[in-house]
Chain A
């Protein structure tokens, strides 16, 4: 109860400390969140379009070119079709979890973008634990997958979900270790500070092995070909989202490509220098880099055949995990040796180490104690 002799000025001191809104206004947060969500959805649509178009070019086909200019509205037509389809609920399904799973799968993808800088300081939340946030929130998608597999009431969905979780959890380790190398180099977990630390050279030049590990591990984590055996279109009936249809299936599809956007953004930010670049505005540089990474992902999808499950797990545990550890140790030693700034002559040394380690890793890579052909 406030007494009559207390002024309004004093009341202002009693008010709780205002949260650190961007621009010190709460509606900035609202506006930028909405802009970011729209940005992600548009990026997903562009990514799906590019995927279909570029895969077609790789196969010497033309791709979608009928709906709208250059077939760009093909995805919008497909989304409309999915919205109008019937959402079938299986009899054995655990309905509440069945409905929640697509949301749990897709929501973290949007949340990750809160810490991605589009310019110096132009990000929703400059967390000092940025990368940790990305990894922690990004992993929640996996729970959505497991919820989907479990609640479908179908043993094949369950098996698909379990295979996917096995792969994702395995590849999380080399990915995190590769990210740790970047963190050691930059001396900060904040994505904005990491981008600023790449002012001299992008980390792909300093840490080619880390980039390779993050790219391969990232492709495996988001179930991109050649690691897409959990939902292999030509072999299985979709794995964990077998029972989904209509808008709920579309959410999973959105989540899949949203993860692709996230992974491209992450690689572009951590290894290709994020918004750094001469001439063009910073956000455009980030977009260009995202699309370059996306193109390479599509290129590998068009090229490489799908791996077997034993190859998939062995690659994570016997090849990438040791290499990631060695990479982290070498980076740590280098940072200890030159605490101020790494001299440029470590670049050839690091490239040589990468080549030697990859050759050594391939030489020692065996399946089933050497009884199984790799």
Chain B
């Protein structure tokens, strides 16, 4: 005997929707309310550690879009000086291969909102735009950074 047919199914469904009515809302009111995104987010920009970079240009070779432009000169202590390091984020597909390829942990993905620009030329990030001192690096492919970052926030879990 299927009791679902005698209106019990309807009553069950009504309680389900009523429970949803009394639940916390899950819509984020974006411009006013910015939630912390995942700690391992790819974000949409790059962060560069000037001290760790050796100028090996592995990132430039891995980039499937070929948007990383790096120019080096030979230094005095048998090293490279990075003269130019530019990323055209207009063509970047945020694949993160450059971060994965970097043998010296010098490149990171980053937390970033609202990176829209008015001109194409502004999309090209120079080495000063990417300095790690000014940005919040994310833990994408760098789990060791993970513990210092804030935990991801969802409205449904939030207690206030």
| A residues whose Cβ falls under 8 Å from a Cβ of B | 54, 57-62, 65, 299-300, 302-304, 358-359, 362-363, 365, 374
With both chains docked as a complex, state the minimum distance between the C-beta of B17 and any C-beta of chain A, in angstroms: 4
With both chains docked as a complex, state the minimum distance between the C-beta of B52 and any C-beta of chain A, in angstroms: 45
Q: 27 pairs across A/B with beta carbons < 8 Å?
A: A54-B21, A57-B21, A57-B25, A58-B21, A59-B20, A60-B20, A60-B23, A60-B25, A60-B26, A60-B27, A61-B26, A61-B27, A62-B25, A62-B27, A65-B29, A299-B14, A299-B17, A300-B14, A303-B10, A303-B16, A303-B17, A358-B6, A358-B7, A362-B5, A362-B7, A365-B5, A374-B5
Give the complex CA separation of A60 and B14 in angstroms: 15
Give the complex CA separation of A304 and B14 in angstroms: 8
Asked if residues B17 and A58 are in contact (CB atoms below 8 Å), the reply is: yes
| A-B contact sample (6 more), CB < 8 A, given A60-B26, A363-B6 | A59-B20, A60-B20, A299-B18, A304-B10, A358-B7, A359-B6
**A59 nearest in chain B by CB position:** B20
Query: Number of B interface residues, CB 8 Å?
Result: 17
Chain A residues positioned under 8 Å from B10 (CB to CB): 303-304
With both chains docked as a complex, state the minimum distance between the C-beta of A53 and any C-beta of chain B, in angstroms: 11
With both chains docked as a complex, state the minimum distance between the C-beta of B114 and any C-beta of chain A, in angstroms: 19
Q: Which of A60, A359, A362, A363 contacts B24 (CB 8 A)?
A: A60
User: B13 on the interface (CB 8 Å rule)?
Assistant: yes
Chain A residues positioned under 8 Å from B23 (CB to CB): 60
What 4 A-B pairs have minimum CB-CB distances, sorted nearest first?
Answer: A303-B17, A303-B13, A62-B27, A362-B6
Asked if residues A304 and B13 are in contact (CB atoms below 8 Å), the reply is: yes
**B1 nearest in chain A by CB position:** A363
Give the complex CA separation of A57 and B24 in angstroms: 9
| B residues whose Cβ falls under 8 Å from a Cβ of A | 5-7, 10, 13-14, 16-18, 20-21, 23-27, 29
Main secondary structure of the interface of A (DSSP, over half): helix
Chain A residues positioned under 8 Å from B16 (CB to CB): 303
Asked if residues B20 and A58 are in contact (CB atoms below 8 Å), the reply is: yes
Give the complex CA separation of A340 and B67 in angstroms: 92
With both chains docked as a complex, state the minimum distance between the C-beta of B25 and any C-beta of chain A, in angstroms: 5
Asked if residues A62 and B29 are in contact (CB atoms below 8 Å), the reply is: yes
With both chains docked as a complex, state the minimum distance between the C-beta of B159 and any C-beta of chain A, in angstroms: 16
**B156 nearest in chain A by CB position:** A60
Chain A residues positioned under 8 Å from B17 (CB to CB): 58, 299, 302-303
Chain B residues positioned under 8 Å from A359 (CB to CB): 6
With both chains docked as a complex, state the minimum distance between the C-beta of B13 and any C-beta of chain A, in angstroms: 5
Give the complex CA separation of A65 and B27 in angstroms: 12
With both chains docked as a complex, state the minimum distance between the C-beta of A306 and any C-beta of chain B, in angstroms: 13
Chain B residues positioned under 8 Å from A57 (CB to CB): 20-21, 25
With both chains docked as a complex, state the minimum distance between the C-beta of B4 and any C-beta of chain A, in angstroms: 10
**A302 nearest in chain B by CB position:** B17
Chain B residues positioned under 8 Å from A365 (CB to CB): 5
With both chains docked as a complex, state the minimum distance between the C-beta of B23 and any C-beta of chain A, in angstroms: 5
Give the complex CA separation of A302 and B16 in angstroms: 10
With both chains docked as a complex, state the minimum distance between the C-beta of A366 and any C-beta of chain B, in angstroms: 11
With both chains docked as a complex, state the minimum distance between the C-beta of B155 and any C-beta of chain A, in angstroms: 9
Q: Which of A54, A61, A358, A363 contacts B25 (CB 8 A)?
A: A61
Give the complex CA separation of A54 and B22 in angstroms: 11
Give the complex CA separation of A58 and B19 in angstroms: 8
Chain A residues positioned under 8 Å from B21 (CB to CB): 54, 57-58
Give the complex CA separation of A223 and B58 in angstroms: 64
Chain B residues positioned under 8 Å from A302 (CB to CB): 17
Chain A residues positioned under 8 Å from B27 (CB to CB): 60-62
Chain A residues positioned under 8 Å from B6 (CB to CB): 358-359, 362-363
Give the complex CA separation of A258 and B22 in angstroms: 28
